[in-house]
Amino acid sequence: MFNPGGQLPLRTLKAAVVGSCGFTLFLGACAIANTPQQDLAYARWAKCNAPFVQLEWVGLDGRITFRFSTAGSRQEVLQCLADAGRTGPPLPEPVGVPPPGGV
């Protein structure tokens, strides 16, 4: 629907911009929702959080990646997460990342 000047009518242009923005917001909202595996991983992490340990990342599959400062704190978190995994659906093995320079 071009007018004789070869330009789109202003109303059509506004509708296209508003529609595009709405679709972008919809897709953005979908991207920030957690997967069920992530929700389960966060719930387990809340029970197993320990001193000198920091959550780094929870993958879409529920894999927990955490940073630890001491070998003992790493082992404590791994044991707690293993115990928590016995009563519910399994998640991928958690990954403990040492601080830069090692423990």
The ranges assigned to domains in the chain are: 36-97
pTM of the prediction?
Answer: 0.68
Residue 60: closest CA among 82, 81, 37: 37
Task: Order across the sheet with 64-68: list the strands.
Answer: 53-58, 64-68, 95-97
Residue pLDDT, tens place only, 18-55: 666 555 555 455 568 999 999 999 999 999 988 899 99
For 25, 54, 63, 69, the CA distances from 90, given in Å and listed in that order, are 33, 22, 10, 26
Residue of 64, 60, 57, 66 whose CA lies nearest to 34: 60
